[in-house]
Amino acid sequence: MKNLIYIFIGGGLGSVLRFLISNYTQKLWNINTFPMGTFVVNLIGCFLIGVLTSYFIKVDNYLKFLLITGFCGGFTTFSTFSAENYSLWQNGNYSILLIYIFLSIVVGLLAVYLGLQVAKN
């Protein structure tokens, strides 16, 4: 039961931070067709989960639930990514759709890898 509380707290904090960073990023870059806010948040989340996973492979404690399952789970969002892709498709923005999917997957994997490498050192 204690782990659920940590997940709850981490998820809430991650969700609020996702909202703030996503909105700020979208306003900063002001690119109407490309969902830059979600893209940036998901890349940061990929990097963080790489760093945190590298550390918590060696250590098993409540912070794993707070930070990985809770915070990173609340911070990143596959559902928003999917909804934005659907919207791009519906609006006929096929080139942006393909670029967004490709960059999210490839750069996301690269961010996880970089996070794991940074945490090793």
pLDDT band at 31 (very low <50, low <70, confident <90, very high): confident
Global pTM value = 0.81
Which residue ranges are tagged as binding site? Answer: 73, 76
Task: Name the region of 59 (left: φ>0; alpha: ψ -120 to 50; beta: rest).
Answer: beta
pLDDT given at position 6: 95
Share of the chain above pLDDT 70, in %: 99
45 close to 75: Cβ distance less than 8 angstroms: yes
Q: What are the pLDDT digits (tens) for 69-121?
A: 899 999 987 877 888 999 899 999 999 999 999 999 999 999 999 999 998 87
Helix residue spans in the chain (DSSP H) = 2-29, 36-56, 62-63, 73-75, 78-90, 94-120
Residue-level pLDDT at 33: 82
User: From the annotation, which residues make up the binding site for Na(+)?
Assistant: 73, 76
Range 93-102 contact pairs with CB under 8 angstroms and sequence separation of 24 or more:
93/33, 96/33, 96/34, 99/34, 100/34, 100/35, 100/39
Mean pLDDT for the stretch of residues 36-56: 90
Where along the chain do its domains lie?
Answer: 2-120
